[in-house]
Amino acid sequence: MKLLRVDTLEEARGKLKGVFAGRAPETELTGCADALGRILAEDVVSGEAVPSFYRSGVDGYAVRSADTAGASESIPAFLEMIGEISVGTAAGRAIGSGQCMYVPTGGMVPEGADAVVMVEYCEPFDADHVAVYEAVPFGSSVVVPGEDVKKGQLLLARGSAVSPAGLGALAAAGITEVSVYKPWRVSILSTGDELVAPGGCPGPGQVRDVNSAGLAASAANAGFQVIRTALLADDEPLLEAAVREAAEDSDLVLVSGGSSQGKKDVTCEVLDRVSGGGVFTHGLALKPGKPTILGFDSGRGALLMGLPGHPVAALTVFRLLAFWLWRELTGQREEWSVRARMSMNLASAPGKLTCVPVRLYRGADGYEAEPVLGKSGLITTMSQADGYVMAEMNREGLKRGEWVEIHRFL
Amino acid sequence: MKLLRVDTLEEARGKLKGVFAGRAPETELTGCADALGRILAEDVVSGEAVPSFYRSGVDGYAVRSADTAGASESIPAFLEMIGEISVGTAAGRAIGSGQCMYVPTGGMVPEGADAVVMVEYCEPFDADHVAVYEAVPFGSSVVVPGEDVKKGQLLLARGSAVSPAGLGALAAAGITEVSVYKPWRVSILSTGDELVAPGGCPGPGQVRDVNSAGLAASAANAGFQVIRTALLADDEPLLEAAVREAAEDSDLVLVSGGSSQGKKDVTCEVLDRVSGGGVFTHGLALKPGKPTILGFDSGRGALLMGLPGHPVAALTVFRLLAFWLWRELTGQREEWSVRARMSMNLASAPGKLTCVPVRLYRGADGYEAEPVLGKSGLITTMSQADGYVMAEMNREGLKRGEWVEIHRFL
């Protein structure tokens, strides 16, 4: 049994950033129809102005604003009506002093006009004239070219996820494809002589494999592409062959299992051999999540992660390291957290950062976070939680009524 | 021009709940591999206990706790070592008084044992005996049957979205398919003579269609299935035929466009005819979102929504009504909001509920919400926002430093 120093979460993250320095994820072009939720690999700049013409924001009469000066309900201005504009067509002609044209919402404002008077403040007077009962300032109810999008304007920034509104902005500017990060290809190897597939019936001493399903779903929510899941018996050559095969075509190889010390040692040795001595983290000062092993196969460019066998620990470490690293490398902004008050005192493990699943309720004063109690390895504590709070390693715990930040599980 | 009273958001929601009373969305069985993110239509209860046997939580020696009474570093208890258990197999034999067996983490605790002493507190003494240097209480380091999941326990509740941890809990309990709500089938009809497809080049007076892309993406994020998008010229018979066709096979028909009064009237009349007089909302006291029309075709079971032509308004109304209704009907819990302080004063429209896009920043005292300024119809105001705050209709606006709740756009 080797005694190796465990890393704090911060140390492990620092090492991950170090080995991935200069190794941004690959990028690809994708059509906007398939871009929803993808992470932009480049800033997107508009090549044109939107709208490209002076556009009316209301149903009304396009006028020279100076012609309405002094107009009021009692003393209207009378303007010559010289035509009507349809949406989607050129205005066709310009207006001169003392003239106006009818323009519907979204229609082109004709040359010569600098404002639109809403139809509610106008009245046809005779066949050729309109009475205008309001003085409008220059530019009133006119959307100017580039008001929504200027030519050369940053539409969407690198590192942002493509949203429905973002797709709208791209559509407005006529951009039909964008450069996005290729999802990491992930292999999930779940190990353990005691495991049977979820559809199977466990015999004496056996349990069903929880990690393949949980990690595959977490990887999907992270935006990764799961290319392989496998359930392996505890057999060192078998594990080594599987990790070697996975490292060939994966960006991330997850090996879960090995909660006993002997298995942890085997996983560590296999990952170190496959990566040519690339293991750099032999445990985390994190609860749950201590038996975590990190290695980088720099030749194949594959991150190898030995995850705890306990499902909650495996999902926690996946979220706090793999998903965190992906967000870092793709330049994503900080995720929002929800502020809540602790509903009770909570002791935490001294010297370890502790991840506590909580359920949120509306309290008198914002949200209340109630810890989901139960041993940390129990998947039900996590599946019933709305999120988690991190209790710092240098504190004794969290106090009832204290404001904390709740993060989402994946 | 008809003058019809507009509904408040609350009134419109009340009417929607009314017409959908007793009309829960359809359900279907889905395999767990495809269930991620789906909304459960029924409570899921475990048919068995997990684990099904007494399981060791550590590497150690299974003992009768009474045999360790008084053991300490200076005065160990000496126990007869009668065998070793492998994970995934039955323990094979029971231990008696004064005996112990080695059991790795996850292994079955043999009959007769009631505790496991961690290997760190034990030492092989001779070929057949182990020295135990710690007194352990009854149950120490033993996971009892049903500790993670009890037989008959509620695993996941109706109305919850299936999460990675939820899939883990289902896998643990051997549940391989669940009953979920069928996604609403959605048709999106974007109307306007001025519109060209996003890939096209707008001529004079034309703009690109933004709503098809934005609404289709919002619908996808809501968990709906978009079965049809169409770009239609302003032509009443054409629109009526398209709405009629869509109502046949859609749960939700979205008609966007019609910002001018004439077009709004046409949309309203078409939706009313197709639904057999089912239009019940002729406008919303919501900014942006006033020109919203709601109707229900009770024969075909289709909700018909006339959405504003302005993209931001269309996406806002979709989120505040269609997505809200779906969450209500499927029994989903309240969505979390993020508390933030307003970074500046913000005037709002009197007598209207106002939806203000904001960007979030970390401030000294939690998050700050900075309104994204710009006319409300501009898609860039929404695409650059992290979320929105609602300014109440009965207030004059929001004050700098005031705590507000920020919700996510879809």
Q: Which one, of B217, B224, B249, B191, lies nearest residue B37 by Cα?
A: B224
CA distance B18 to chain A (A): 26
* A2, pLDDT greater than 60: no
A51 has a chain B CB within 8 A of its CB: yes
Chain B nearest-CA distance from A400, in A, is 19
B139 touches chain A (CB under 8 A): no
B301, B214: one domain:
yes
pLDDT the model gives residue B350: 82
Q: Distance (Å, rounded) from C-alpha A16 to C-alpha B88?
A: 34
Instruction: Give yes or no: residues A271 and A394 share one domain.
Output: no
**Does A249 map to a domain?**
yes
Residue B90, chain A, CB below 8 Å: the answer is: yes
Contact between B313 and B382 (Cβ < 8 Å): no
Nearest-Cα distance to chain A for B327, in Å, is 17
Q: Is residue B349 part of a domain?
A: yes
> Would you tell me the crossing angle of helices B236-249 and B261-274 to the nearest 10 degrees?
40
C-alpha count within 13 angstroms, C-beta hemisphere, residue A34 = 9
Fill in the DSSP letter of residue B76: P
C-beta atoms of A88 and B201 within 8 A: no
pLDDT band at A377 (very low <50, low <70, confident <90, very high): low
Question: Mutation test of the interface with chain A: which of B103, B144, B210, choosing the one with the most A Cβ atoms within 10 A?
Answer: B210
Contact A379 B168 (CB under 8 A): yes
- Chain A contact for B52 (CB, 8 A cutoff): yes
At residue B23, what is the residue type?
Answer: R
Q: Is B67 on the interface with A (CB under 8 A)?
A: no
Are A380 and B149 an interchain contact pair (Cβ–Cβ within 8 Å)?
yes
The pLDDT, as a whole number, for residue A376 is: 61
Residue B1 in domain? no
Is the domain of A311 the same as that of A210?
yes
* A177: contact with B, CB 8 A cutoff: no
ipTM of predicted assembly, 2 dp: 0.95
Which residues in chain B are contacts of A260 at CB distance < 8 A? 59, 87, 104-106
**Beta pairing partners, B130:** B79, B124
Q: Is the pLDDT of residue A259 over 80?
A: no
Q: DSSP class of residue B273?
A: H
Chain B CB contacts of A334 under 8 Å are 362
B336 and A380: CB-CB below 8 Å?
no
Cross-strand partners of A14? none
Name the residue among A163, A315, A377 with its Cβ closest to that of B409: A163
The pLDDT assigned to B1 comes to 43
Structure confidence at residue A1 (pLDDT): 43
Minimum-distance CB partner of A199 among B155, B176, B213: B176
Minimal CA separation from B78 to chain A, in Å? 23
Residue A3 pLDDT > 60, yes or no? no
Q: What is the pLDDT of residues A189-242, one digit of tens each?
A: 999 999 999 999 999 999 999 999 999 999 999 999 999 999 999 999 999 999
B210 vs A281: CA distance, rounded Å? 49
Q: Say whether residue A362 is in contact with chain B using an 8 A CB cutoff.
A: yes
Q: Which helix (H) or strand (E) holds B115?
A: strand B115-118
CA distance B299 to chain A (A): 32
Is A42 contained in some domain?
yes
Residue B398 lies in a domain: yes
pLDDT at A301 over 90: yes
Q: Based on the fold, state whether residues A69 and A209 are members of the same structural domain.
A: no
Same domain, B200 and B175: no
Is B191 a domain residue?
yes
φ and ψ at A193, to 5 degrees? -60, -20
Largest alpha-carbon pair distance within chain B? 100
| Residue percentage of chain A with pLDDT more than 90 | 89
**Full DSSP string of B158-195:** TTPBP-HHHHHHHHHTT--EEEEEPPPEEEEEEE-TTE
Establish if B4 belongs to a structural domain. Answer: no
Q: Which of residues 366-405 of B touch A (CB under 8 A)?
A: 366-367, 375, 377-380, 382-383, 385-386
Distance of alpha carbon A317 from alpha carbon A294, whole angstroms: 11
Per-residue pLDDT, B376: 61
Q: How confident is the model over A68-121, as pLDDT tens digits?
A: 999 999 999 999 999 999 999 999 999 999 999 999 999 999 999 999 999 999
| Contact (CB<8Å) A87/B149 | no
Q: Does the beta carbon of B165 lie under 8 angstroms from any beta carbon of chain A?
A: yes
B361 touches chain A (CB under 8 A): no
Interchain pair A164, B410: CB under 8 A = yes
CATH code of the domain containing A382: 2.40.340.10
Same domain, B322 and B343: no
A36 Cβ under 8 Å from any chain B Cβ: yes
Interface check B225 vs A, CB under 8 A:
no
Are A284 and A206 contained in the same domain?
Answer: yes
In one letter, which amino acid is B10?
Answer: E
Residue A162 lies in a domain: yes
Nearest CA in chain B to A387: B336
Residues A248 and A280 in one domain: yes
Q: What is the DSSP letter of B212?
A: H
Where is average pLDDT lowest: A218-232, A268-282, A396-410, B271-285? A396-410
B201 contact residues in A (CB cutoff 8 A) = 174
Distance of CA A275 to the CA centre of its chain: 31
- What residue of B is the nearest CA neighbor of A110? B205
> What confidence tens digit (pLDDT) does each residue in A145-165 have?
999 899 999 999 999 999 999
Shortest CA distance from B165: residue in chain A: A383
Residues A256 and A323 in one domain: yes
**Cross-chain CB nearest to A171 (options B91, B198, B385):** B198
- Domain end, chosen from B329, B361, B387, is at B329
Domain count for chain B: 4
Taking 70 as the pLDDT cut, the residues of chain B under it are 1-4, 375-377
- Asked if B167 and B232 sit in the same domain, the reply is no
Least Cα separation, residue A113 to chain B (angstroms): 15
CATH number of the structural domain spanning residue B174? 3.90.105.10
Residue type, A366: G
Judgement on whether residues A168 and A261 belong to the same structural domain of the protein: no
Which among B59, B168, B205 is the nearest to A89, CB-wise? B205
Is-cis flag, bond preceding B288, omega within 30?
A: yes
Q: What is the largest CA-CA distance in chain A?
A: 100
User: How distant is the Cα of A366 from the closest Cα of chain B, in angstroms?
Assistant: 8
* Domain ranges, residue A159: 27-47+154-181
Residue B201 burial (10 A CB sphere; 0-12, 13-18, 19+): exposed
A18 and A115 within one domain: no
Q: Is the Cβ pair B262, A164 closer than 8 Å?
A: no
- For residue B279, the domain's CATH number is 3.40.980.10
Query: What CATH number is associated with residue A68?
Result: 2.170.190.11
Q: What is the mean pLDDT of chain A?
A: 94
Task: Please answer yes or no on whether B409 and A201 come within 8 Å at the CB atom.
Answer: no
Q: Single out the residue in B305, B329, B353 at which a domain terminates.
A: B329
Interface contact flag, A379 B53, Cβ < 8 Å? no
